[in-house]
């Protein structure tokens, strides 16, 4: 979904032709999974970080067209609304200074973006949901001027028989209930998306591990407690995104409705091909853009997959020589609160993936998919205070899971993978551990500020921006 399309309206012929290409490419993909076609290198890592543009008062600034033109960087691209942009990383090989190099790359691009933004009177900011955004600002007047976004909006509404999108989120103390006649509410959600390269032999273990890690990751990285002035979930971004582009597709055996934004319906069992077959059979086509290129580029498979927003999504990538590879895209973490926090989140996820892979018995054989789905939504709602289901019928806090199992496991796994020990100490012991043990996530910081000062979201956002600008991790931020 990152590439522009050449048209924004489609005919029945387009849908028919696209499905023919999609079936042909999926058959070819099945051949790739049964052969040695995919790159056999695992562990490459990268990310996408979505950001906001705000004005001098930290209100959203619909300026991404001018901003992106002046930034003129191939790794900085538009997002759904004119308030947003996205920074992509280059792929980083495993081991050594991989996280420090990611840190340096992100800091360099962010500094460039900040300098350019200042010339047009705006500022870049990373946060899961911007507290100063108003529902009235999330309208089609502020959609980015790319055809793929107009087409996506039109086709989602067509798939819903033009029924409006109802967003209903029950928080712990407040409830939000609004109606949207377009998909622009999705623009309020900004995330850090972590990419982890895998191989066909390891892909099922990696994919299932990413699901298992979704609850601890969403709790440890929560940074979106407020939407339109209401305190809702610790990570309100999760239910908001799911409802903002809601197209109910099918119901699984447990009665759960599987929509376009989904945690999924089950573990992968034998191959990630299962996910792409589900894409083909269960999810209607949204953007039937027909390509004339070689089926080996998987253009139709990749475009269709890009319109199904699993919180853990398998991706097919190509190198410059056309050699395909597999990646797991982990879409759970919020954006922000700072650059060091972002890199620490990546290091924690990466190390925890390696740790779970090193276990002789996969945890997916000991925990049902229903349990980990339950854990994910509990952690999104209650953050580090969530109680989750674990093996042997045990219930435990997600905070305990992170501090007693995942952090030590990730630490050892990163050292075993020859990651620089100083970096492991910095990002895990220096950032993740105090954030989790002291319960000082971005969501906790935001709610602490509002409880002390009242519902002054502009003042809170300005203070947040000033803390972020210092490049200190959030557990060191003060609530003045």
Tens of pLDDT, residues 244-300: 998 867 666 666 666 889 999 999 999 999 999 999 999 999 999 999 989 999 999
pLDDT-derived band of residue 29, with 50, 70 and 90 as boundaries? Answer: very high
Q: Per the structure block, which two tokens stand in for 154? A: 């039109």
How much is the pLDDT for 2?
Answer: 52
Interval 294-319 mean pLDDT: 95
How sure is the predictor about 334, in pLDDT bands with cuts at 50, 70 and 90? Answer: very high
| Residue-wise DSSP of 249-265 | -EE-TTSPEE-SEE--S
Cis amide leading into 337 (omega within 30): yes
CB 280 within 8 A of CB 23: yes
Paired strand residues for 76: 87
Q: What is the mean pLDDT of residues 178-187?
A: 95
Exposure string over 448-459, b if 16+ CB within 10 A, otherwise e: ebbeeeeeebeb
d(CA 76, CA 280): 31
pLDDT at 8: 65
pLDDT tens figures, 340-368: 999 999 999 999 999 999 999 999 999 99
Closest CA to 73 of 85, 84, 81, 62: 85
- The pLDDT of residue 349 is 98
Residue 441: closest CA among 405, 477, 471: 477
Rounded to an integer, what distance in angstroms lies between the CA atom of residue 88 and that of residue 76?
6
Q: How confident is the model at residue 480 (pLDDT cuts 50, 70, 90)?
A: confident
User: What is the pLDDT at residue 95?
Assistant: 98
1 has a pLDDT exceeding 50: no
**Which phi and psi (to 5°) does residue 56 adopt?**
-65, -20
Q: Tokens standing for 9? A: 């309206």
Query: Tell me: the pLDDT tens digits for 400-441?
Result: 999 999 999 999 999 999 999 999 999 999 999 999 999 999
Cβ atoms of 376 and 234 within 8 Å: the answer is: no
Based on its alpha-carbon atoms, the radius of gyration of the chain, rounded to whole angstroms, reads 21
Question: What local confidence, expressed as pLDDT, does residue 270 receive?
Answer: 95
- Asked whether the predicted pLDDT for residue 96 surpasses 50, the reply is yes
Query: What secondary structure letter does DSSP report for 384?
Result: G
Q: Is the pLDDT of residue 380 over 80?
A: yes
Q: Is the pLDDT of residue 301 over 80?
A: yes
Sorting pLDDT into bands at 50, 70 and 90, what band is 7?
A: low
Global pTM reads 0.96
**pLDDT class of 198 with cuts at 50, 70, 90:** very high
Lowest mean pLDDT across 122-126, 391-395, 410-414, 421-425: 391-395
Task: Cite the beta strand spans of 260-383 per DSSP E.
Answer: 261-262, 309-310, 312-318, 324-330
């Amino acid at each position: 979904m990152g590439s522009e399309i050449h048209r924004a309206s489609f005919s029945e012929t387009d849908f028919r032709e696209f499905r023919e290409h999609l079936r042909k490419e999926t058959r070819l993909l099945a051949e790739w999974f049964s052969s040695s076609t995919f790159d056999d290198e695992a562990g490459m890592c990268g990310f996408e970080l979505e950001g906001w543009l705000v004005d001098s008062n930290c209100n959203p600034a619909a300026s991404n067209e001018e901003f992106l033109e002046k930034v003129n960087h191939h790794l900085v691209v538009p997002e759904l609304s004119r308030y947003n942009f996205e920074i992509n990383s280059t792929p980083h090989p495993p081991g050594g200074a991989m996280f420090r190099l990611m840190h340096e790359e992100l800091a360099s691009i962010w500094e460039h973006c900040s300098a350019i933004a200042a010339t047009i009177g705006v500022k870049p900011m990373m946060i899961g949901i911007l507290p100063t955004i108003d529902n009235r600002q999330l309208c089609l007047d502020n959609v980015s001027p790319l055809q793929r976004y107009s087409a996506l909006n039109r086709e989602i509404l067509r798939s819903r028989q033009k029924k409006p999108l109802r967003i209903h989120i029950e928080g712990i103390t407040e409830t939000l209930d609004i109606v949207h006649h377009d998909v622009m509410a999705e623009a309020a959600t900004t995330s850090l998306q972590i990419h982890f390269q895998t191989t066909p032999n390891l892909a099922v273990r990696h994919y299932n591990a990413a699901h298992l890690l979704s609850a601890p990751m969403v709790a440890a990285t929560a940074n979106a407690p407020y939407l339109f002035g209401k305190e809702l979930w610790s990570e309100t971004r999760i239910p908001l995104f799911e409802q903002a582009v809601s197209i109910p597709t099918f119901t699984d055996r447990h009665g759960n409705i599987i929509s376009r934004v989904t945690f999924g319906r089950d573990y992968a069992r034998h191959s990630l091909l299962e996910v792409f077959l589900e894409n083909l059979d269960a999810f209607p086509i949204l953007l039937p853009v027909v390509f004339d290129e070689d089926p080996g580029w998987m253009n139709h498979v990749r475009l269709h997959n890009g319109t199904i927003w699993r919180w853990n999504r398998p991706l097919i990538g190509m190198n410059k020589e056309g050699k395909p590879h597999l990646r797991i895209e982990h879409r759970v973490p919020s954006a922000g609160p700072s650059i060091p926090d972002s890199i620490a989140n990546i290091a924690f996820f990466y190390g925890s993936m390696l740790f779970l892979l090193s276990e002789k018995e996969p945890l997916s054989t000991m925990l049902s998919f229903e349990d980990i789905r339950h854990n994910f939504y509990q952690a999104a709602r209650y953050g580090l205070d969530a109680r989750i289901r674990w093996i042997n019928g045990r219930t435990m806090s997600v905070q305990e899971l992170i501090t007693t199992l995942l952090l030590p496991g990730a630490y050892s796994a990163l050292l075993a993978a020859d990651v620089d020990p100083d970096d492991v100490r910095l990002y895990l012991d220096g950032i993740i551990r105090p954030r989790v043990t002291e319960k000082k996530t971005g969501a906790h910081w935001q709610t602490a500020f509002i409880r002390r000062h009242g519902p002054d979201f502009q003042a809170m956002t300005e203070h947040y921006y000033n803390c972020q600008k210092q490049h200190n991790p959030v557990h060191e931020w003060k609530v003045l």
